Amino acid sequence: MRGEQPAATVLSAEGGGGAVALRAGTAGAEAEVTLGGATHRLATQQPLAPRAWHRLWLAHDPGTGRLLLGQTGPGGAATAEMRLPAGPMPAVQGVLIAARGIDAPCDHFTGKIEAPLAAAAFAESWPSALDIPPVAAAAIRAHWDFARSIGTDAVADIGPDALHGTLMNAPTQAVVGACWSGRETCWRHAAEDYAAIHFHADDIEDCRWAPSFHFDVPDGMASGCYAFHLTAEGGEDWLPFYVLPPRGRATAPVAFLASTFTYQAYANHARGNADAAYHARVADWGAYPHNPDQVRGFGFSTYNRHPDGSGIALSSRLRPILTMRPGYLTFNDARGSGLRHYPADTHLLAWLEAQGIAFDVITDEDLDDEGPGLIAPYRALLTGSHPEYHTDRMLDALTDYRDGGGKLLYLGGNGFYWRIARDPARPHLIEVRRAEGGIRAWDAEPGEYHHQLDGQLGGLWRRNRRPPQMLVGVGFSAQGLFEGTHFRRLPDSHAPEHAWIMEGVPEQFGDTGLSGGGGAGFELDRADVRLGTPPEAAILARSGPPPSSFVTVPEELLSHVATVTGERPADLQRGEIVYFTTPGGGAVFSVGSITFCGSLWDGQAFAGPVSRLLENVLRRFMAP
């Protein structure tokens, strides 16, 4: 057991009117035993060292009633004992690890636990926290080996009674254990080094609510983005859902790929910015009123941390997602709407409808499940403002689509950045390990860079030799506050072969917008031939000088003055609009900015140069 928090249950058992709980508390190892309606408490009075492995044990002698509690660890050994009435403990009917209370679990533990066991023997002492059990193997009744089923919700008992268990709420597996040697950094190659589970009091996988209603999609209902409007006394809610086209058939020449894995990665992101000014704007605008900073019962995002400071690596869609609601404000944006992700992508959907462009909607999850056949019928495929999280299957499908003649429009920034994992048995879960570089809300522990759900190396796609430039010609280069600037045309935009793209677009454009006040903002992507941008790609426009809040992303830096390209760090703080074709007849148009779609609206209508630019490209791509 590696302690992380003041007090919580490490292992508990109950049955026959009695209960036993072994806890890690402020007074060291603690025990609570309930017999005959009376609760007996015991503590070693030796505090546990934070972020260090300890062995806790509790032994009972039914002949004498002696109860011995012990711990070993960095602070040495400590024990405490008391006398209970002689006689056996009540028969155990259930065991919980990292919590107590079979019917209503509570007192959840945050920290790592490895190799819990139960034995029909009395452990008088335990010389070291890492020692094997000082009892005969024949006495062991249960020994739960967490290395046996990494990536699943099964817990294997290698003891004689096969008391196997089930994990609840998807705690973090594939984490280094007490005896990690460091010789292997992938758990698939040395599972015994990863025989721990990192439990967290705020882990949540499935709210397990009973359905309140069912909805059958009517025949002929158009593909699109919808929401159920729920009302009750004192409140209302909007629950978004997508309707896809009939399986195997496109109903429009254009498809919008909803970035649902990105929405899920950011699900319930508590940013700490919901101050009085933020709530005043929410009230003034009639925006979605609930924020994860205040509503904290549904788990948080992979941009937040667990109570012990470890990063949240898993996110489930089987829970309320406050940030995926129409009108949810991420920022109190003085120059725009402050929308991001799901709400921000409605800028693009509203533009499509205003321009009279028919489109189908598909989602990340559908693309990952069904592959390239899902998108093959479409002449053009549009991303939203921030398609950041992808599996290898998705990148393969998008590459096949592009190289097979499809027209791909990447309409955001910081896209195709993080590699994620999924488990076919639990498709509602995604996992991200923030390994080795990148702008990150937290960094994975050394030795914990491989996903538990698929065993693959996590981190940036760039570190996995698939940088975004290989797919769409541009990749993440700079980030700042939620503010933007303009684009300025470059010489390639004046070439005759690109006249159709830039028709009606002035030399400078994107000066206004609903997202940060400019079309080039917040997160910017640039071309780089060394990372995969085709040498023949045309760089049509480049962002203006960025606001002072912008920084160069860390994966571009070798030192405080040297970059991987040899350019000055400040010179990499740029977004670029890129166009290229593929030998198979496909084409890619990338805008290099997360705030681009916000500038489709010019303050009065979906008009102006940014709208004109996108319409020029999309209508050409749509043409038979």
d(CA 557, CA 569): 7
Number of other residues whose CB lies within 10 A of the CB of residue 79? 18
pLDDT band at 1, cuts 50/70/90? low
d(CA 452, CA 449): 9
Q: What is the pLDDT of residue 352?
A: 98
If 0-12 CB within 10 Å is exposed, 13-18 middle and 19+ buried, where does residue 122 land? middle
Mean pLDDT, residues 571-578? 97
Question: Largest Cα–Cα distance in the chain?
Answer: 96
Nearest to 598 by CA among 583, 588, 608: 608
Report how far apart, in Å, the C-alpha atoms of 303 and of each of 72, 263, 341, 431, 434 are. 35, 12, 14, 12, 10
Look at the block and give the residue holding tokens 């705690």.
Answer: 171
Amino acid at 305: R
Contacts of 427 (CB under 8 A, 6+ apart): 365, 369
Report how far apart, in Å, the C-alpha atoms of 9 and of each of 1, 22, 108, 282 are. 11, 6, 6, 40
pLDDT digits (tens, 9 = 90+) for 341-397: 999 999 999 999 999 999 999 999 999 999 999 999 999 999 999 999 999 999 999
pLDDT digits (tens, 9 = 90+) for 505-549: 999 999 999 999 999 999 999 999 999 999 999 999 999 999 999
Q: What is the pLDDT of residue 342?
A: 98
d(CA 312, CA 203): 9
Does 281 have pLDDT greater than 90? yes
461 and 564 share one domain: yes
153 and 244 share one domain: no
Q: Which DSSP category does 159 fall into? A: S
For position 177, which CATH number holds? Answer: 2.60.120
580 and 508 share one domain: yes
Q: Distance between alpha carbon 273 and the CA centroid of its chain, in Å?
A: 20
Nearest to 270 by CA among 288, 297, 239, 237: 297
Q: What is the pLDDT of residue 5?
A: 54
75 and 146 share one domain: yes
266 and 192 share one domain: no
Number of domains in the chain: 2
Q: Which element (helix H / strand E) includes 618? A: helix 609-622
Q: What is the pLDDT of residue 134?
A: 84
For position 506, which CATH number holds? Answer: 3.40.50.880
Whether 217 is in a domain gets the answer no
Q: What is the CA radius of gyration of the chain?
A: 28
Q: Are strands 111-114 and 196-199 parallel, antiparallel or unpaired?
A: antiparallel
Mean pLDDT, residues 433-452? 95
d(CA 538, CA 533): 10
Does 14 have pLDDT greater than 60? yes
Does 6 have pLDDT greater than 70? no
For 118, phi then psi, to 5°, come to -135, 140
d(CA 88, CA 37): 16
190 and 288 share one domain: no
Mean pLDDT, residues 141-152? 96
Picking from 142, 171, 199, the residue at the C-terminal end of a domain is 199
378 and 461 share one domain: yes
Q: What is the pLDDT of residue 2?
A: 61
269 and 138 share one domain: no
d(CA 372, CA 392): 12
Q: Which DSSP category does 193 fall into? A: G
251 and 173 share one domain: no
Taken as a whole, the chain contains a residue count of: 624
Does 97 have pLDDT greater than 90? yes
How is residue 331 written in tokens?
A: 């920022």
Q: What is the pTM of this model?
A: 0.96
Q: Helical H runs in 334-467?
A: 341-354, 364-370, 392-403
How is residue 344 written in tokens?
A: 């921000």
Amino acid at 574: R
In whole numbers, what is the pLDDT of the chain averaged over residues? 95
Picking from 143, 174, 199, the residue at the C-terminal end of a domain is 199
Whether 214 is in a domain gets the answer no
pLDDT digits (tens, 9 = 90+) for 423-433: 999 999 999 99
Whether 78 is in a domain gets the answer yes
Q: What is the pLDDT of residue 89?
A: 87
Whether 220 is in a domain gets the answer no
pLDDT digits (tens, 9 = 90+) for 78-95: 999 999 999 888 888 999
Whether 404 is in a domain gets the answer yes
Name the 3-class secondary structure at 110.
Answer: coil
Query: Which percentage of the chain shows pLDDT scores above 70?
Result: 99
Lowest mean pLDDT of 294-298, 358-362, 603-607, name the range. 603-607
97 and 181 share one domain: yes
Lowest mean pLDDT of 125-129, 146-150, 531-535, name the range. 125-129
**What domain range includes position 515?**
237-622
Contacts of 463 (CB under 8 A, 6+ apart): 435, 436, 437, 438, 457, 555
How is residue 198 written in tokens?
A: 């990192």
d(CA 529, CA 304): 34
pLDDT band at 451, cuts 50/70/90? very high
Does 238 have pLDDT greater than 90? yes
411 and 269 share one domain: yes
d(CA 597, CA 384): 8
Whether 231 is in a domain gets the answer no
Nearest to 386 by CA among 266, 493, 210, 219: 266
158 and 274 share one domain: no
Q: What is the pLDDT of residue 135?
A: 84
Q: What is the pLDDT of residue 606?
A: 94
Mean pLDDT, residues 263-276? 97
Q: What is the pLDDT of residue 234?
A: 87
Does 282 have pLDDT greater than 70? yes
Whether 266 is in a domain gets the answer yes
Picking from 199, 225, 250, the residue at the C-terminal end of a domain is 199
Contact between 154 and 166 under an 8 Å Cβ cutoff? The reply is: yes
Name the 3-class secondary structure at 436.
Answer: coil
Nearest to 352 by CA among 624, 604, 601, 609: 601
